[in-house]
Structure 1
């Protein structure tokens, strides 16, 4: 057996063979079950539980929100982030997480512009069940200002598009911006010589 937390275990081979997302979800569940009070997951853990794609590897550190005014501290595999969030709590399955909009802003502030764009463009897609608009992201961002790395979040919101169909498309758009290229028209349709229409990212 693999020990997840005190009193929480998982079959060793099953846990080792699981995806990084599944392992992180199991760790979050162990934290939730061992807590005396309700836990509100945030940042990268909230993204995993909400199905928001992340940049880079998914670590074993579980991120939660605390009611403290400022600061961040880590202990026993839990990263606690301070800040007000009472109005931005969202229920998903059996977990409490920061709202999709707040999760995107948190990722943009803590993980960088590209990570923020990947998260933002995922939730902004019209077919996404999380139903977040660019106006809602901007309103929450301005309501929270000033906060750490808020100018970094400004860049994310200025670049984010609702038309990107995948993280790879978001990465391409970010590189176009980084190298000073004109942003291409997204989800472009072309008509082939056979008369059929073909849709491409750019």
Structure 2
């Protein structure tokens, strides 16, 4: 009997302690529901909502992305056409290397940009078709300027090539800047950043070779 009473008391004490703990927990949770619990919920929600669009945007594109790809392809094509002239006409080893580097960087970008447009159901600019419409804008060379470059050789070619390529690069850099500001497709924005960095570095290099900086 004594053993039974002691067991009952012990059980009651445990139950009372458990109830007290529950009450304390409830009070604690309610007391900081705005700063603690509520704050945690809101930060978790922010984290989820912020990361979801970021991952989803990898596959989404908008009109700015399309304009970037369609504008960059003919621009790159002309730069590659200019670079192709260097091996047989340039005198300076630096100019030859620069031309090779430009072609090496821009040829794969043309393929990537064309692939994006195809995936998006957009038309890839035809070879030469858009080039002429863009001449004189965005740093694009005119047909006359291209013809003069093709006639030049030696030091005259080196100078003309670098002066024209600086103008070409300066025009090209504006398109990726717009893409970074307005585009939605993450890989295109990443490429835009790479173009700005590489072409800005090449502009600096050419200005140094021309003795302009």
TM bin, normalised by shorter chain, reads: under 0.3
More strand by share: 1
The structure with more radius of gyration: 2
TM-score, length-scaled by structure 2: 0.25
More helix by share: 2
More contact order relative to length (CA 8 Å, sep ≥ 6): 2
